[in-house]
């Protein structure tokens, strides 16, 4: 890929792709670090983090049970571009109590806050480090902290390890003689036996009643809520045995492991008793296959208890989330939209463009959309219609104004095609509900849209995107158009305000009207807003989520102002085909003064609207003559010519 069209720091970051770091590299560095290390806990800055952007926030990493401070080693290169990174190292021989570790971290954040009071401080903690971060945050509610917590050990009281701790405490000398690798094998074996027992108990419960599971949980202390099959259990825990031996057996002496387990036990109680005082912005990262802690359940619990908390789960990851090959912390931070350089998050100035690997992951994730074989048509300067993006300007600012199809599903194919075939990131102006926290629902594609630069629709962000010479995607019809009713496909619901025209002219932006069709070829709307409002409990739910998501255009009368949020019930069809037509670019350079006249502005606004309707009408008519409109005909074409071949369409006039 030749490079994404971006400006300034974002473009620089785009091309500095990271080099992969292996788990073996972590083990080697950790062994070197602890082999001759003595003294108290201290901070260090990893050399491979490099130099961050100017005014980057501070990131303090608080380690888990290993204490090395190298848990983010796979992420140093990416994080080092956007953060000033410091890691806490706790030598294996150190016996600093948990409360003193809290004071140590507290002194550090107070010092950094005093030095840069407007800069946020990120605390990234895993397991034990997550308890440390929560405890520090509870004691410092007036300092701007952002917590990123992986598999917090606040759930240690419900861990399968908890019943084993008294055994380890009773036999320290025996355990020393046996050696840590043998102990870890035994611990992992006990966990496997526990979860295999679950399967047998559940099978018996199915036949005899569910009282057995409850009894076993009460007597053993184990929580019987894990894997569904013997094979999966064996695979997951075999991987766990290998990983825990690599991470711990070669790093921690047996007495240190015992000390750390005791510390986790006390740290969990300490942090849980102070959760009510945590006011920091928090992101909980939970593994779906964590044998040591009930991390998914704990993530949901913390989301309910903490004031400003979001939650993400990673189904195929184990306890050591930051060491998983499939996990990328920098990407998650971008997707959640939790990165900021000051007290207030700015969706434009704080945006970091996706790296080449992130962009490829986005494209691969939605590769299945190619089954629709979208047809992209654009218009050259002389008015000639061509297939592809030849008529799209490479330099911004460019404003793309079009119609929403049902559920806004047209956005994903459009953004994918632009990024893959035209090397342009479309910055969508999106409904604020995509960026709200603590929602009753999760809008689809929100994480990926934030990664690709979507911003809440507002005059402030529209102005900033234009000043940054961005490629901006605008749907004037908004939610009313994306969540339309039966019989309203391809109908525009645009308000009368024409302010986007005036703003575009202020920066000399090119306006490209476009139309999109194809929703009626992939689904049929069978239960819409009008139907649902007749059902009392659905009407109440619609009112609740509409109020929670914030009603735009509340002052506008008529249907254009009705921005109610609801979830249409659809009947899927065999995927048809999506069609996009981009009209001739409308130049606003040099007509800024002319557009001070509201009548002139409104005329241009109506021209754009008319062009969008013409594009839709053209596509609806021409697709009738497309021999490859049906899925079956396209599959036959691919079988003959290969699945990477471009599928033909109707004749372009």
Q: Tell me the per-residue pLDDT of 179-188, one tens digit each, with 9 for 90 and over.
A: 444 455 555 5
Say if CB 449 and CB 434 are below 8 A apart: yes
Phi-psi region of 512 (alpha: psi -120 to 50; beta: other; left: phi over 0): beta
Phi/psi of residue 349, nearest 5 degrees: -70, -25
Q: In a 3-state reduction of DSSP, which class is residue 603?
A: helix
Alpha-carbon dihedral of residues 271, 273, 277, 283, nearest 10 degrees?
Answer: 40
Give the pLDDT confidence score for residue 66 in this predicted structure: 87
Q: Give the pLDDT band (50/70/90) at residue 208.
A: very low
Start-end of H helices in 520-647: 529-532, 536-549, 598-622, 631-641
Single out the residue of 85, 125, 82 nearest to residue 341, CA to CA. Answer: 82
- The residue ranges of DSSP E strands in 388-522, in sequence order, are 398-402, 426-430, 455-456, 471-474, 510-517
Higher pLDDT: 477 or 193? It is 477
CA–CA distances in Å: residue 467 to residues 254, 359, 427, 530: 59, 24, 13, 41
**Tokens read off for 566:** 């609801």
Q: What is the pLDDT of residues 401-436, one digit of tens each?
A: 999 999 888 898 899 889 888 788 999 998 888 887
DSSP 315: T
- Most confident by average pLDDT, 35-39, 271-275, 305-309, 505-509: 271-275
Q: In a 3-state reduction of DSSP, which class is residue 84?
A: strand
Give the pLDDT confidence score for residue 17 in this predicted structure: 52
Q: What is the pLDDT of residues 144-157, one digit of tens each?
A: 999 999 999 999 99
The percent of residues above 90 in pLDDT, for the chain, comes to 53
Phi/psi of residue 104, nearest 5 degrees: -60, -50
Looking at 100-114, 236-250, 438-452, 567-581, which range is the least confident one?
Answer: 236-250
Q: Give the pLDDT band (50/70/90) at residue 595.
A: confident
Phi/psi of residue 516, nearest 5 degrees: -135, 135
Q: Where are the domains of the chain?
A: 18-354, 356-641
Give the pLDDT confidence score for residue 218 in this predicted structure: 44
What DSSP element (H or E) covers 376?
Answer: strand 375-379
CA–CA distances in Å: residue 230 to residues 161, 198, 203, 343: 21, 10, 12, 49
**Quick check: 92 pLDDT over 80?**
yes
**Quick check: 552 pLDDT over 50?**
yes
**Quick check: 279 pLDDT over 70?**
yes
What is the DSSP code string of 98-135? HHHHHHHHHHHHHHHHHH-TTS-EEEEEETHHHHHHHH
Question: Is domain 18-354 given the CATH code 3.40.50.150 in the classification?
Answer: no
Q: Give the pLDDT band (50/70/90) at residue 446.
A: confident
Higher pLDDT: 112 or 498? It is 112
Rounded CA-CA distance 10/54 in Å is 12
**Quick check: 283 pLDDT over 80?**
yes
**Mean per-residue pLDDT, 333-352:** 93
What is the separation of C-alpha 454 from the centre of its chain, rounded to a whole number of angstroms? 12
**Mean per-residue pLDDT, 221-242:** 45
Looking at 220-234, 440-454, 493-507, which range is the least confident one?
Answer: 220-234
**Quick check: 521 pLDDT over 60?**
yes
Looking at 322-336, 348-362, 415-429, 587-601, which range is the least confident one?
Answer: 587-601
Q: What is the pLDDT of residues 477-491, one digit of tens each?
A: 988 899 999 999 999
Give the pLDDT confidence score for residue 168 in this predicted structure: 63
Give the pLDDT confidence score for residue 246 in this predicted structure: 56
Average pLDDT, the chain: 83
Give the pLDDT confidence score for residue 200 in this predicted structure: 39
**Quick check: 499 pLDDT over 90?**
no
Say if CB 163 and CB 222 are below 8 A apart: yes
Where does residue 147 rank: exposed (0-12), middle (13-18), buried (19+ CB within 10 A)? buried
Rounded CA-CA distance 98/88 in Å is 14
- Most confident by average pLDDT, 5-9, 235-239, 359-363, 577-581: 577-581
| Residues forming a β-bridge with 86 | 60
Q: Which long-range contacts (C-beta less than 8 Å, at least 24 apart) are formed by 43-46?
A: 43/86, 43/87, 43/88, 43/89, 43/108, 44/69, 44/86, 44/87, 44/89, 45/84, 45/85, 45/86, 45/87, 46/70, 46/72, 46/73, 46/76, 46/80, 46/85, 46/87
Higher pLDDT: 630 or 7? It is 630
**Quick check: 268 pLDDT over 80?**
yes
Say if CB 127 and CB 319 are below 8 A apart: yes
Q: Give the pLDDT band (50/70/90) at residue 162.
A: confident
Q: Give the pLDDT band (50/70/90) at residue 354.
A: very high
Q: Give the pLDDT band (50/70/90) at residue 201.
A: very low
Helix axes 329-336, 356-365, angle to 10 degrees: 70
Give the pLDDT confidence score for residue 38 in this predicted structure: 75
Rounded CA-CA distance 317/303 in Å is 20
**Mean per-residue pLDDT, 113-127:** 96
**Mean per-residue pLDDT, 216-221:** 40
Give the pLDDT confidence score for residue 19 in this predicted structure: 66
**Mean per-residue pLDDT, 349-360:** 91
User: What end-to-end distance do the CA atoms of the chain give, in Å?
Assistant: 31
**Quick check: 81 pLDDT over 50?**
yes
Q: In a 3-state reduction of DSSP, which class is residue 72?
A: coil
**Tokens read off for 4:** 């994404």
**Mean per-residue pLDDT, 41-63:** 91
Rounded CA-CA distance 275/367 in Å is 42
């Amino acid at each position: 890929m030749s490079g994404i069209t971006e400006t300034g720091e974002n473009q620089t970051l785009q091309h500095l792709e990271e080099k992969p770091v292996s788990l073996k590299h972590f083990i080697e560095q950790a062994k070197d670090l602890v082999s001759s290390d003595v003294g108290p806990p201290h901070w260090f800055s990893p050399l491979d983090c490099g130099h961050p952007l100017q005014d980057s926030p501070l990131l303090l990493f608080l380690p888990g049970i290993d204490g090395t401070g190298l848990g983010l080693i796979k992420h140093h290169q990416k994080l080092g571009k956007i953060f000033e990174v410091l890691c806490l190292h706790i030598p294996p021989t150190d016996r600093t109590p948990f409360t003193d570790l809290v004071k140590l971290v507290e002194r550090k954040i107070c010092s950094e806050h005093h030095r840069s009071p407007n800069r946020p401080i990120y605390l990234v903690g895993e397991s034990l480090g997550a308890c440390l971060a929560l405890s520090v945050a509870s004691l410092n509610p007036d300092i701007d902290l952002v917590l990123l917590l992986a598999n917090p050990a606040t759930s240690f009281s419900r861990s399968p390890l908890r019943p084993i701790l008294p055994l380890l405490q009773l036999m320290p000398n025996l355990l020393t003689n046996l050696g840590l690798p043998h102990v870890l094998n035994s611990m992992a074996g006990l966990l496997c036996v526990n979860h295999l027992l679950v399967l047998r108990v559940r099978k018996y419960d199915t036949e005899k009643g569910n009282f057995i599971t409850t009894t076993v949980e009460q007597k053993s202390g184990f929580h019987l809520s894990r894997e569904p099959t013997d094979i999966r259990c064996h695979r997951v825990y075999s991987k766990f045995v290998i990983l825990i031996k690599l991470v711990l057996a070669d790093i921690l002496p047996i007495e240190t492991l015992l000390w750390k387990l005791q510390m986790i036990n006390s740290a969990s109680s300490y942090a849980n008793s102070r959760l009510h005082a945590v006011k920091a912005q928090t992101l909980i990262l939970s593994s779906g296959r964590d044998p040591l802690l009930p991390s998914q359940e704990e993530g949901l619990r913390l989301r309910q208890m903490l004031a400003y908390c979001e939650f993400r789960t990673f189904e195929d990851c184990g306890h050591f989330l930051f060491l998983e090959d499939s996990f990328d912390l920098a990407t998650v931070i971008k997707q959640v939209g939790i990165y900021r350089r000051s007290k207030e998050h700015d969706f434009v100035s704080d945006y970091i463009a996706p790296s080449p690997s992130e962009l490829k992951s986005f494209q691969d994730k939605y590769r299945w959309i190619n089954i629709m074989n979208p047809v992209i048509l654009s218009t050259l300067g002389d008015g000639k219609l061509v297939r592809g993006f030849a008529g799209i300007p490479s330099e911004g600012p460019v404003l793309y104004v079009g119609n929403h199809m049902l559920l806004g599903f047209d956005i994903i194919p459009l953004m994918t095609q632009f990024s893959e075939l035209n090397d342009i990131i479309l910055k969508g102006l999106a409904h604020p509900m995509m960026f709200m926290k603590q929602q009753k629902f999760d809008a689809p594609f929100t994480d990926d849209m934030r990664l690709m630069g979507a911003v809440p629709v507002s005059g402030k962000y529209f102005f900033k995107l234009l000043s940054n010479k961005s490629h901006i995607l605008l749907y004037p019809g908004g939610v009313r158009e994306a969540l339309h009713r039966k019989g309203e496909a391809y109908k525009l619901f645009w308000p009368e305000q024409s302010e986007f025209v005036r703003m575009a002219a202020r920066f000399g932006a090119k306006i490209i009207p476009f139309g999109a069709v194809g929703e009626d070829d992939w689904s049929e709307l069978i239960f819409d807003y009008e139907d649902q409002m007749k059902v009392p409990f659905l009407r109440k739910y619609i009112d609740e989520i509409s109020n929670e998501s914030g009603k735009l255009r509340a002052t506008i009368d008529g249907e254009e102002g009705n921005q109610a949020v609801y979830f249409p019930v659809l009947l899927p069809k065999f995927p048809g085909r999506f069609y996009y037509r981009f009209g001739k670019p409308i130049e606003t350079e040099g007509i800024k003064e002319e557009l001070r006249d509201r009548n002139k502005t409104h005329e241009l606004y109506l021209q754009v609207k008319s062009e969008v309707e013409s594009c839709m009408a053209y596509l609806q008519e021409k697709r009738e003559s497309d021999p490859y409109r049906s899925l079956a005909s396209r599959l036959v074409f691919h079988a003959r010519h290969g699945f990477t071949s471009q599928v033909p369409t109707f004749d372009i006039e």
